[in-house]
Amino acid sequence: MPKTDAEIIKAAKEDLSHFKPLYQKWVSPVYRYFLHRVNNIKEAEDLTSQVFLKVIERLPTYRENGTFPAWLFTIAHHQRVDHLRSNIAVLPLEDITVKSLSDDLLDQAIKAGEYTKLRELIRLLPENEQELIRLRFVAMLSYREIALVLKRKPDAVRKKIFRLLDKLEDQLEDNYV
Amino acid sequence: MSEMFILSIEKKIHRAAMMPEPSKDFQDRLWDQLRTHHNQPDTRTHIHVLRRHPAWIVIAALLIVFIALFIGFGPRNVYAFFRQILGIGDAGIQSIQEVGLVTDLELTTVPTLIPDESASAITPHNATVVALSETHEGVTLTLDWVYVDEGRLALSWTTGTLPEDLTYGIPAISMNGYTTPQAEGNIQTLRKENNQLIFVSYQVIQVDTVGEAFGFNVDLPLVRKNEQSDESLALFHFELQDIPVFRGRTVPLQQTYAHQINGIELRLESIQMTPSSTELVVCNDYPTDDGSHWTLQNATLQMGDGTEENNLSYSVLDESSDGTCVQFTFETSSDAGAKHMTFRVYELVNETSEEVMTGLWNFYIDLPTTEDFNTEVSETPEPTPTEIGSQTVSDVTVTLEWVFVDALRAAVGYTITGLPDVPEAVGVQGNIHLYDMEGNEVGGAGIGTSNVVRVDDQPGAVQGTWSVGFMTPLEQTEASFQLSITLGSTQQYEYIAGFPISPEATPYPAGEQPPSLPDQFLGTYVFDFTTPIQPLTVLTNIPTVTVNGIEVIVPRAELTASMSKVMICYQKPSERDWWIFDAVVSDGTDESHMSGGQVLYDPDVSVYSGYNTENWQIPAEFQTVEHGRCLLLDFLQGKDQSSGILTLIIPALEISPPEVIPDAELEAAYVILEAQGIEMSYEIYRGSGGGGGGVTYTTLPEGMTDEEAYQKFLEALGYLYEGPWEIPLINQE
């Protein structure tokens, strides 16, 4: 019977090897979250390492009153804020090669270059709006988890993301009309 | 925008934001690193941000020196000092100063880095004892003392053990229409080591406005913490009257409220320390008028002279177009033991442009403890007997030995000497009454006791105790009363109490009035006294207990040191008068049977209660229950604190047998009883004054008493519904 996150963490407080399933599940979303922000593999790896080191350090004080992903990304979110201050140069998005795109019907329906344009539009968003996109579409957190990370109400997060999608769609249509 | 469209754009963004996975090699390396790190001793520090930015250390140090010099030498001298050491004598610098291109560093509120000696030398007045208790969600909170001067308002509670997920919010203080000018922040510390909660609020309360004593209400929320939001479970409500207000600032506690640098003011509104974390609420106005939002960042907390700790998280509490309030959370514990701490904010960041404004907004905070207040005289007075005084009339002396008053009951103990030595006297004639200082008689709850006994080896000496229950619980912490004891009676059969009768005593001949003491009317002895009032504990959310298919709920119970009042509600088995003829409260050592009770609610019968039922509201959800009934039961046993156990035991619900049991019910009962080996007859008699019935047993099973057989009889009649219901009123062993 699969264990819950809380059960895994409880066991991991005694023996870290129990933490591995959670690590394996979340190392990739955290890494992709940072990669989307810094566009630099080495920096993303470094930031991911720092987040998980903090997770391990704070594991004894973890309280099961939210969700583990929300707690994890709260740490990642603060790591990102610290990173903003460190003024590391951000590489252009084109430097990152995304290999896993598949050709499905949706791809065919979308005009060539639409993804690139959408990435540019996202990059032009204010940082706090980019953060919403990262948490929702890169880290794949739920609205509730995002609300926990950003200390906002879930409904407010949901509305804000919907407004953001609306704006991006309008901007995208303006480019292809 | 349609839902279909949203799905579509979501998919596009998913793809546009798609990032490659981390390499397998990185994942394995990091896992190994985590395992290695985990096995190392914890050497982490909390100043990595500063370490990565040594410039901050220099700036912070310079600012601290600058602030310290300001305090020590004043702005003019410090400015001259900096001109000298920084060489601000060159023409270029002088010219830009002259044309006004420099921005002066404004420090309108200078933080006090350490309390000065004069502050430490302050001797506070005595704190005012309150000793009011309330219980919600199984947690009992006692407001021990209060201290108010013109700059501080302090409250100290003792708290029962809090469940892991519960804590207290910041209390709301309402001052009966008085709004305190210059509210300058507050701090609340909850310490596990002594289960103490102290709240100190900094504001101005002017004696010339409110008087030398005033009243105010305190509402302290009990909250369940979770990451999404705090859930308020209950409010502890305390109404305080006649609390002294001392002139001046008489407590050596300080807390920086506002610090302004270059026109940007940060205000430290509230601090809440618990054994697991420290939360600080800081508010600021936005420095620009362009509508962009600014967030406080890079904040640290330093306990005493320890290392600076970075905040664990922050959340925006309130945001408007003009400013924001942010809550910072640190891991710092209230049990860390420091006497003061320093909160620093280093940056203000524009959320849109990411522009950073730097500064060092610095807040000094004293951590209040009981030692900061004079509570030597504040211990709750124990209900120890105290000799109040003696009065003599016609050689008969009445000495009031002790008094005791709690929120529900008053009791006195007295001795009478000089009475005639009449061994055959059956009791003491007269009456006892208690009045408040306005002359109103106190009591009326239908609760009272009175006992007298002869004093061994002292002919003509009697000791007595007397008590009376209050219609409405007293809310004062102290009150004055007048007790009158009248000895002798102008009315026949008016007795204070009778002496205990020996089982071997010979009954007095019928038709003959036995002698009593005194043998003539003596007069009234009047005693004025002032006494502390022991507090009331209110219990709510008491577990319900279901036995034999009937659920008994206890919406509320009131306890004092001397008695208990318990409200119970249950669904009667039928529309008939299902009553509780006996119930017991037990603390595991002593137990008391109910001394009285009344129906508070029963739609099946017409209920009139002259009792003040304001505090005994029928739960709304119970008002739709068919055949629902609520009773208020009184017990002359209480509890002076809410720890330990106190259990209410209800053995059974019963219907009072009617004066004459109908034949059909009797015949049905006989059949049931015969099967149990019980044979009996029920005899009916009638007279001019009414009628009745009596039971005669002809056969009983071996060992069964008449009383047990009667219970079986009631059960067979369907007049008895057995429990027992054992309800834990307090269960904090």
Closest CA to B543 of B725, B729, B723: B729
- What is the predicted pLDDT for the residue at B85? 33
Q: What is the CATH number of domain B389-502+513-531?
A: 2.60.40.1630
What's the CA gap between B533 and B405, in Å, rounded?
5
Can you say whether the dihedral through the CA atoms of B56, B58, B61, B65 is positive or negative? negative
Which of B204-218, B250-264, B277-291, B543-557 comes out lowest in average pLDDT? Answer: B250-264
| B134-160 core/surface letters (b: 16 or more CB in 10 A; e: else) | bbbebbbbbbbbbbbbbbbbbbbbbbb
Distances from the Cα of A56 to the Cα of A4, A49, B55, B331, angstroms: 18, 11, 30, 16
Given a cut of 80, whether residue B94 has pLDDT beyond it is: no
What mean pLDDT, rounded, does chain B reach? 77
**Residues in B 51-110 with any Cβ partner in A closer than 8 A:** 52-53
Predicted confidence at residue B540, as pLDDT, reads 83
Q: Which residues of B touch A24 (CB under 8 A)?
A: 27
Produce one character per residue of B12-38: b if its CB has 16 or more CB atoms within 10 Å, e if not. Answer: bbebbbbbbebeeebbeebbeebeebb
Q: Give the residue among B234, B227, B217 at the shortest CA–CA distance from B139.
A: B234
β-bridge partners, B410: B405, B468
Q: pLDDT value at position B552?
A: 94
Which pLDDT belongs to residue B505?
A: 67
Chain A residues 118-157 within an 8 A CB cutoff of chain B: 118-119, 122, 126-128, 133-134, 137-138, 144, 147-148, 151-154
Q: Which two tokens stand for residue B647?
A: 């259990």
Q: Stretch B80-93: mean pLDDT, rounded?
A: 35
Total domains in the fold of chain A: 1
Beta bridge partners, B396, equal: B393
Confidence class for position B725, pLDDT limits 50, 70, 90:
very high
- Chain B residues within 8 A of A70 when measuring between CB atoms: 227
Name the residue range of residue A41's domain.
5-176
Mean per-residue pLDDT, B632-651: 84
Vertex B649 angle, CA B644 and B654, to 5°: 165
Q: Is residue B339 less than 8 Å (CB to CB) from chain A?
A: no
> Hey, which residues 156-175 in chain B have their CB within 8 Å of chain A?
164-165
Do B316 and A152 count as a contact with CB atoms less than 8 A apart?
yes
Q: Which two tokens stand for residue B67?
A: 């602030």
Task: Evaluate if residue B383 carries a pLDDT over 70.
Answer: no
For residue B697, name the pLDDT band (cuts at 50, 70, 90): confident
Which of A37, A129, A77 shows the shortest CA–CA distance to B351? A129
Nearest Cα residue to B191 out of B171, B167, B208: B167
Average pLDDT over residues A77-96: 54
Question: Using CA atoms, how far apart are residues B224 and B108, in angstroms rounded to an integer?
Answer: 39
- Per residue in B289-336, pLDDT (tens digit) is 777 777 887 888 988 888 888 888 777 777 776 778 888 889 888 887
Considering only residues B597 and B658, tell me which one the structure prediction assigns the higher pLDDT. Answer: B597
Mutate which: A24, A27, A116, A129, vs B, most B CBs within 10 A: A27
Structure-model confidence comparison of residues B540 and B114, the more confident one? B540
Region A155-160 average pLDDT: 80
Mean pLDDT for the stretch of residues A91-99: 37
Locate CATH 2.60.40.1630 in chain B. 118-181+190-244, 258-372, 389-502+513-531
CATH top-level class of B118-181+190-244: mainly beta
In tens, the pLDDT along B537-588 reads 888 888 899 998 999 999 999 988 888 999 999 999 888 888 888 899 998 8
The predicted structure's pLDDT at residue B720 = 86
What pLDDT shows up at residue B547? 92
User: Of A73-87, B82-96, B394-408, B522-536, where does mean pLDDT reach its minimum?
Assistant: B82-96
CA–CA separation, B671 and B139 (whole Å): 52
For B378, the token pair is 């504040």
**What 8-state DSSP symbol labels residue B354?**
-
The residue of B11, B224, B227 whose CB has the most chain A CBs within 10 angstroms, and thus the best one to mutate to test that interface, is B227
pLDDT band (50, 70, 90) for residue B6 = very low
Minimum CA–CA partner of A66 in chain B = B227
Mean pLDDT of B273-298: 82
Cα A68 to Cα A77: distance, rounded to the nearest angstrom: 14
Cα of A5 to nearest chain B Cα, Å = 16
- Among A31, A64, A72, A87, the strongest candidate for a mutation testing the B interface, having the largest count of B CBs within 10 A, is A31
pLDDT of residue B209: 81
Residue B721: is its pLDDT beyond 70? Answer: yes
∠B339-B345-B347 over CA atoms, to 5°? 170
Chain B residue with CA closest to A59: the answer is B38
Summarize the confidence of residues B275-288 as an average pLDDT: 86
List the CATH number of the domain containing A51.
Answer: 1.10.1740.10
**Chain A residues whose beta carbon lies within 8 Å of the beta carbon of residue B276:** 61
pLDDT, mean of residues A131-152: 84
Q: How many alpha carbons fall within 13 Å on the CB side of residue B66?
A: 19
Q: Which residues of B270-306 are buried (b: 16+ CB within 10 A; e: fewer)?
A: bbbbbebbbbbbbbbebbeeeeebbbbbbbbbbbeee
Q: Which residue has the tokens 């601090």?
A: B271
The DSSP letter of residue B136 is E
Partner B contacted by A82 (CB < 8 A): yes
> What does the pLDDT average to over B526-539?
86
pLDDT: which is higher, B63 or A24? A24
User: Among all residues of chain A, which has the CA nearest to that of B42?
Assistant: A57
**Rounded to whole angstroms, how far apart are CA atoms B536 and B407?**
6
Over its C-alpha atoms, chain A yields an Rg (Å, rounded) of 18
Whether the pLDDT of residue B91 is over 50: the answer is no
**Three-state secondary structure string covering B79-126:** HHHHHHHCCCCCHHHHHHHHCCCCCCCCCCCCCCCCCCHHHHCCCCCE
* pLDDT band (50, 70, 90) for residue B504: low
Torsion over CA of B25, B27, B33 and B35, rounded to 10 degrees? -130
Q: Which of residues B494 and B507 earns the better pLDDT score?
A: B494
CB B148 within 8 A of CB B240: no
Q: What are the residue ranges of helices labelled H in chain A? A: 5-14, 20-38, 41-58, 68-85, 105-109, 114-124, 127-133, 143-150, 154-176
Q: Chain B contact for A95, CB < 8 A?
A: no
Nearest CA in chain B to A14: B38
**DSSP letters for B391-419:** EEETTEEEEEEEEEEESSEEEEEEEEES-
* pLDDT of res. B650: 94
Q: Which token pair is B718?
A: 């369907």
All residues of chain A having their beta carbon less than 8 Å from the beta carbon of residue B5 are 169
Assign domain B537-654+725-732 one CATH number from 1.10.10, 3.30.870, 1.10.357, 2.60.40. 2.60.40
The most confident of B76-85, B236-245, B612-621, by mean pLDDT: B236-245
Q: What is the pLDDT of residue B565?
A: 92
- The residue with greater pLDDT, B477 or A100, is B477
Q: How many CB pairs under 8 A join A and B?
A: 144
Strand partners, B27: none
Please state the rounded mean pLDDT for residues B367-380. Answer: 69
In SS3 terms, B597-633 reads as EEEEECCCCCCCCCCCCCCCCCCHHHHHCCCEEEEEE
Residue B181 has pLDDT above 70, yes or no: no
Q: What percent of chain A has pLDDT over 70?
A: 76
Q: Residues of chain B with pLDDT > 70: what percent?
A: 78
Q: Which tens digit of pLDDT belongs to each residue from B451-475?
A: 899 998 888 899 999 999 888 888 8
Question: Is the pLDDT reported for residue B490 higher than 70?
Answer: no
pLDDT number for residue A137: 87
For residues B313 and B300, is the Cβ–Cβ distance under 8 A? no
Contacts of A32 (CB under 8 A, 6+ apart): A44, A138, A139, B19, B20, B21, B22
CA dist A133 and B13 (Å) reads: 8
Whether the upstream peptide bond of residue B381 has omega within 30° of 0, thus cis, is no
CATH number for the domain running over B258-372: 2.60.40.1630
Nearest-5° Cα angle at B306, B264 to B267:
20
What is d(CA B178, CA B170) in angstroms, rounded to the nearest whole number? 19
pLDDT band of residue B141 (cuts 50, 70, 90) is confident
Higher pLDDT, B216 or B389: B216
- Residues B509/B699, Cβ–Cβ less than 8 Å: no
